[in-house]
Amino acid sequence: MKTTERLLSATKDIWAAYNENPFVKGIQDGTLEQAKFKYYIIQDYLYLEEYTKVFALGIAKAKSPETIQLFSRYVTLLTEGEMDIHRGYMGKFSVSREELEATPRSLDNLSYTSYMLRVAYEEGEAEILAAILSCAYSYEVIAKKIVENNPLAQDHPFYGDWVRGYANPHYGEANVLLLEMTDRLTLHYTEQQVRHLEDIFVACSRYELAFWEMAWNMSK
């Protein structure tokens, strides 16, 4: 079994819960209160600022030009692609730069990003990939499941941009590279090393679920 298959197998119940979360269901059927989505989009933007730093640390820890290129590509994807989706929504909500900078990260947000940054500072390139993969790949899985459950979700006048952004094949192509590199770097990992990767991946997957719950409850 490939390392990524083991990681996903270890978290299948957690990942199944993503699309059952009322926040995600609200995006799927278009009934989510926009106030909740505004809270989420601001918190997620603040999250992405820290998340991008994890990839940047991956560049510093990389041991090959291929891995450097992979981490670098994702930094570009985040800053010029994913964060643009968020900027678009913040424009719709008339969120100023001042309001954004004055908004503190929620406790769940702070805990999650602090954990990933700790992994990035203390561990190697494969462990960094394990930490970032749950966010990067789960958004694709969630968006595609939303479209599967409700094909009209991608055409919703408000939430359609979000759904299309993460269900986009270009976003999925970047994730294929993350998955393949994780398997490649861990090809000769010992059982103990793979279990450690599982611990990281499970923790981050749990943080992802907590993030959706945080968004639904608008927790501080």
Neighbours of 16 (CB within 10 A): 10
State the pLDDT at residue 124: 96
> Is 204 tagged catalytic?
no
Quote the distance between the C-alpha of residue 199 and its chain's center.
17
pLDDT at 84 over 80: no
Residues 6+ apart with CB under 8 A from 44: 86, 211, 215
Number of domains in the chain: 1
Q: What backbone torsions phi and psi does residue 138 show, to the nearest 5 degrees?
A: -65, -30
Q: 49-78, pLDDT tens digit by residue?
A: 999 999 999 999 999 999 999 999 888 888
Q: What domain range includes position 23?
A: 3-217
What is the token pair recorded at 73? 């590509």
Taking CA atoms, 177 is separated from 17, 144, 180, in Å, by 25, 18, 5
CATH number at residue 103: 1.20.910.10
**Least trusted range by pLDDT, from 7-11, 24-28, 152-156, 173-177:** 173-177
- Reduced to 3 states (helix: H, G, I; strand: E, B; else coil), residue 23 is helix
Average pLDDT rounded to a whole number, residues 184-196 = 97
The pTM assigned to this predicted structure is 0.94
Which entry of 82, 127, 135, 140 is annotated as an active-site residue? 135
Per-residue pLDDT tens over the stretch 110-159: 999 999 999 999 999 999 999 999 999 999 999 999 999 999 999 999 99
Burial letters 39-63, b for 16+ CB under 10 A, else e? bbbbbbbbbbebbbbbbbbbbebbe
Q: What is the model's pLDDT at position 81?
A: 65
DSSP secondary structure of 131-160:
HHHHHHHHHHHHHHHHHHH-GGGGG-TTTH
DSSP state of 106: P
Average pLDDT over residues 175-199: 97
Q: What is the CA radius of gyration of the chain?
A: 17
Q: pLDDT value at position 196?
A: 98
Residues 30-44: what's their mean pLDDT? 96
Mean of pLDDT over the chain? 94
Whole-number pLDDT of residue 60: 95
Which of 137, 115, 130, 106 is closest to 44 using CA atoms? Answer: 106
Q: Is 135 annotated as catalytic?
A: yes
Written as one letter, the residue type at 158 is F
Structure confidence at residue 33 as a pLDDT band (50, 70, 90): very high
Q: Which of 82, 125, 127, 208 is catalytic?
A: 208
